[in-house]
Amino acid sequence: QVPIIGLVMNDRGFISRVLCPKFGGYLTFGSLEKGKESAPSQPTAADLINVYNIRQIGPDTKVFGIIGNPVGHSKSPILHNEAFRSVGLNAVYVPFLVDDLAKFLSTYSSPDFAGFSCTIPHKEAAVRCCDEVDPIARDIGAVNTIIRKPDGKLVGYNTDYVGAISAIEDGIRGFYMPLYIEPLYYC
């Protein structure tokens, strides 16, 4: 019955600042401008409002994020949170600084943690950590997308190969595209 402010410091604590309204915290702290933080890894008030949509986060908000190390430089939260906002999805996407993928997935096993993008250095470990792995991802030996099914099972996919193949195909088309030289007409 007592209002709490529960915050964790440094890079690993960043998510506590964004997710506090989901877990009952009645306020968080954001700096007025970048470079003027009062604590390490404190987001700006503008980022809390405009990137993370903190005013809309509540107990029913689903959590998605990018798992990696390092991960603080990722632009994924900007992209995904804007996409969630544009379609009216009650969700937030945050960076998860992770050393041990298996331990992370075990700790964050609640259905509220609905899915993850997986980046360096965890893509190969994700194949072993998922309950099910798409056959293409298994053949590649790397997972970059993890979805939590309603029964709690984790399913791993690889979407990197689609981008790689498209880039190769575009390059081949561009390379072999017939060169058209406009004829010169003399009067």
Q: Kindly list the catalytic residues.
A: 123
With left for phi above 0 and alpha for psi between -120 and 50, is residue 28 left, alpha or beta?
beta
| Cross-strand partners of 145 | 117, 157
Token representation of residue 156: 């791993």
Q: Is 53 within 8 Å of 18 (Cβ atoms)?
A: no
Strands (E), the chain: 62-68, 91-97, 113-118, 132-133, 145-148, 154-157
- Tokens representing 101? 């993928």
CA distance 6 to 11: 15
Instruction: Tell me the residue type at 109.
Output: S
